[in-house]
């Protein structure tokens, strides 16, 4: 299905909900609940909080239906609503990791399913290096990487979720990728040098270790 067709279907589905079709909301929930839960768990390890926030998002949709605008991107609308709700609840709970301006918040990239699957295929040393590299990213870089490569969002959609303009969202992801490459390359170069020394200068390496 093309993007145009998908947007058309989403617009029709949303209009049906706005006109009072609650059964459509059930379909929307079934379609997006897993995505919302996965996204919500990036911000907090409290799964019950995430579930409560998802429920509140849908309850709010019903309560404010008459005031809602049309959309052709239900997924993006729900992601934005859930993020706003979770960050608000975390602040209200007195969580010190959340700043008042909503520009700094925790985001766990390592929990992403496809990243976990790919890391399981690597040896222990490479998994460690990749984990360290991802942890070196800023929280917003982690979120942008997750949205782009784990969830396949377009740059315009990422811009909307992160409150950035189009160019800033592209630059954010580009810098994140370059940072990952730089860190991984640096570690690989170091490991290659150690291996070279062990293979061709084993005696010197042994003496160096003895001095330490």
pLDDT digits (tens, 9 = 90+) for 31-77: 999 999 999 999 999 999 999 999 999 999 999 999 999 999 999 99
Is the distance from CB of 54 to CB of 33 less than 8 angstroms? yes
Q: How many CB atoms lie within 10 A of CB 89?
A: 19
State both tokens at 54: 């998802």
Is the distance from CB of 175 to CB of 194 less than 8 angstroms? no
Average pLDDT, the chain: 82
pLDDT confidence bin for 211, thresholds 50/70/90: very low
Taking only the tens place, the pLDDT of each residue in 167-180 is: 999 999 999 988 88
pLDDT confidence bin for 203, thresholds 50/70/90: very low
Give the residue from 31, 4, 27 showing the smallest Cα distance to 16.
27
Q: How far is the C-alpha of 109 from the C-alpha of 106, rounded, in Å? A: 10
Q: What pLDDT, on a 0 to 100 scale, did the predictor assign at position 197?
A: 53
State both tokens at 5: 């067709």
Which string of DSSP letters, residue by residue, matches 109-164? STT-HHHHHHHHTS-HHHHHHHHHHHHTS-HHHHHHHIIIIIS---HHHHHHHHT-
Taking only the tens place, the pLDDT of each residue in 81-132 is: 999 999 999 988 775 555 545 567 889 987 555 555 555 555 676 667 777 8
Give the residue from 14, 91, 22 showing the smallest Cα distance to 59.
22
């Amino acid at each position: 299905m093309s993007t145009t067709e998908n947007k058309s279907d989403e617009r029709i589905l949303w209009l049906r909900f706005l006109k009072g079709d609650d059964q459509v909301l059930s379909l929307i929930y079934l379609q997006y609940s897993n995505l919302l839960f996965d996204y919500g768990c990036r911000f907090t390890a409290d799964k019950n909080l995430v579930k409560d926030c998802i429920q509140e998002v849908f309850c709010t949709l019903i309560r404010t239906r008459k005031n809602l605008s049309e959309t052709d991107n239900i997924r993006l609308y729900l992601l934005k609503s859930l993020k706003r709700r979770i960050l608000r609840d975390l602040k209200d709970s007195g969580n010190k990791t959340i700043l008042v301006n909503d520009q700094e918040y925790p985001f766990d990239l390592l929990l992403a399913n496809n990243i976990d699957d790919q890391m399981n295929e690597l040896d222990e040393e490479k998994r460690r290096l990749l984990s360290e590299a991802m942890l070196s990213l800023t929280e917003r870089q982690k979120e942008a990487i997750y949205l782009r490569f784990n969830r396949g969002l377009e740059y315009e959609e990422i811009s909307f979720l992160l409150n950035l303009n189009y160019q800033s969202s592209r630059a954010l992801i580009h810098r994140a990728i370059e940072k990952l490459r730089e860190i991984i390359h640096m570690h690989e170069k170091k490991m290659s040098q150690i291996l070279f020394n062990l293979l061709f200068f084993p005696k010197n390496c042994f003496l160096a270790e003895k001095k330490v």
